[in-house]
Chain A
Amino acid sequence: MSRRPGSRASMRHMKSFALLLPLCLLMQDPVRTNFAVLAGFEFSKGMKLPDEVTALDGKIVQLSGFMAREVPGSGPVGQFLMINDACGCNGTPKLNEIVFCALAEGTTMEIKAGIVQVTGKLYVGEQTEEDEVVSIYVLDADSVQ
């Protein structure tokens, strides 16, 4: 795990110095994954994540789910959460049941109501802030359909 949504601009800057890498990434077929894989274990801070999950780190993946805001509100977003269940009544999503998605710098979109399919590069690993885990899955969303 190497980054979080806020560091996307610097990552893109670095990529510009390595033109071959993004070209290679663009040529990758996305790996189809789902929440049964991502959320298929009991997460605890500091644990070794399952191999089938860490194997997705750095891969271009395709994932279906519901878009949600990190904070309730309205209007277009540059970042959003991907979750498996649209109904908040059904319980609080755990950190391994959420993919934190970031759109490209300067891009925003409306939160869509139904199931969406997101494609982009997935980063797997604990991100901490103030000594607390704030995310496990971060995805640079290149396409949301």
Chain B
Amino acid sequence: MSRTFPRPALVALLTCLTATTAAQDATAPNSEDWQKHVERACTHARYGLRLSASKKVAAGGDAAMPAVRAWTDKLGLNSLPVALVEAIADAGGNGEAVLGLLQQWALDRDFYWRAQALRGLALRAHNEAALRAKFAPVFAEFVEDPAWLMRTFARWLADDPTRDFDVETAPGQIVRTVESDPRARTRLAALRGNSRELFTALSDRRTFLGDPWGKRRAAEALTALTALLGTDCGYRIDATDQEHAPARLRLADAIAAKDGGSTPATVTQADPNLTFLGGIEILSCKNGDLFLRWSADGLVQGGPSPDCSHSRQIAPAHWTKLLRTATALELPQENGVVICDKLRLQLRTDRPQAAVAPSALPQPAADWLKQLAAAIEESGDPSLAGALRQRLEQFVSIAAQAR
């Protein structure tokens, strides 16, 4: 990777945004009823009005933060909606009260929206060397975080080879593991303006339990590439591979022309030619994600990212028994109230998928998933089995935990 990459246009935009809102701090009206705006941002029944109230609170900068603190003191940190945290992260300015809150939130492993808070710190640190030094220990703490979004914002500045990082004043910032989660790789590439990495994401068509996550990744990559190159070369995410082949070639040429390297090759990433009967997806900002899917004949694929890099074959006798038990299970479509972390479970393709909030997984389903973990362990993948057991703990119902 070149050490003289230009910064992405996205970051330039955010720089302006942060600088503008920092300047707004001094002019934020003190006569505003910030408590009213915070309450509106947290509780209004209309999504759009919650969004606009969140932006108003953020624009208030330091002046509005006592009202935010009062709200969380009264109702707890997790009563804050993601929109408010994200608005403060994006446009809360650089006042001490804002920075203090963002740091406190980022460090709190039980806070749902800690990644958004860390993003707020990273945006500011990216723009100001003094803030980069100040928050370096915070970034260092999360470079190996199990939650991919936390890890991404921590790594953005911590292991960027285009930065002249001062390891003496910021020890521990050398990242030892290569990022393997495709979602994180794309987000990092967008933040750093790595056009070649973005190009590899363009042809991702992978899915998990029907969720076209590869296409979302491709869309994110295209947005970032368009900002970097100043053109999308006519590429359309919703077109077929054949339809957008010429545009893809133009993009590849534009990348080569910009960085002076060779023309990048297209890497099409598609689902394996297998039919999956069911699966489980755990999305957790706290503990990290876990994906598992199984075929009718007991092939289990899984891992911490939706590309499911682990693959094991469950012994036929064991699998037949597991499938029989799964057939007998009935799960409501909604289990508990999902705010952030959630589990999505499909036992068989002929059953509706179920969404489960933390502490709301019915005991029979939890028992079945533990049996699945045991079968995966027997098949020779104790790390995948252990990850499943560990992630399940968060979702097992309180009644079951008490037993």
Interface on A for B, CB 8 Å cutoff?
34-37, 64, 66, 70-75, 81, 84-92, 95, 98, 110-115, 129-130, 132-135
Contacts and interface: CB of A to CB of B under 8 A. Distances in A.
B283 A89 contact: yes
A84 B213 CA distance: 10
Interface string B338-379: 111010111000001111000000000000000000000000
Question: Per DSSP, are chain B's interface residues mostly helix, strand or loop, or mixed?
Answer: mixed
A89 B333 contact: no
A70 B51 contact: no
B202 to A, nearest CB: 13
Contacts of B337: 72-74
Interface stretch (B40-48, B92-100, B134-142, B393-401): B40-48
A112 B212 CA distance: 16
A104 B336 CA distance: 26
Nearest to B333: A110
Given A36-B236, A89-B115, A132-B52, A112 B353 contact: yes
Contact of B336 (A74, A84, A91, A115): A74
Nearest to B119: A91
Nearest to A90: B149
Interface in B318-340: 333-334, 336-340
Given A85-B216, A114-B210, A134 B46 contact: yes
A111 B333 contact: yes
Given A111-B333, A132-B52, A135-B48, A86 B344 contact: yes
B65 interface: no
Nearest to B150: A89
Given A74-B336, A81-B47, A91 B211 contact: no
B352 A113 contact: yes
Nearest to B48: A134
A81 B340 CA distance: 16
A35 to B, nearest CB: 8
Nearest to A95: B48
A92 B49 contact: no
B25 interface: no
Interface residues of B, number: 44
Interface in B105-148: 112-113, 115-116, 147
Contacts, number: 95
Contacts of A37: 238
Contacts of A74: 334, 336-337
B83 interface: yes
B340 A110 contact: no
B219 interface: yes
Given A89-B285, A129-B46, A129-B48, A114 B211 contact: yes
Contacts of A110: 333-334
B308 interface: no
12 contacts: A36-B215, A36-B236, A66-B211, A88-B339, A112-B333, A112-B353, A113-B344, A113-B355, A129-B46, A129-B49, A134-B47, A134-B48
A84 B344 contact: no
Contacts of B334: 74-75, 110-111, 113
Contacts of A35: 219
Nearest to B339: A72
Nearest to B286: A89
Contacts of B216: 84-85
Contact of B211 (A36, A86, A132): A86
A73 B357 CA distance: 11
Nearest to B45: A71
B86 to A, nearest CB: 5
B106 to A, nearest CB: 14
Given A88-B340, A110-B334, A111-B333, A70 B45 contact: yes
A71 B345 CA distance: 23
A124 B17 CA distance: 29
- Counting chain A CB atoms within 10 Å of each CB, the highest count among B47, B82, B83, B354 belongs to B47
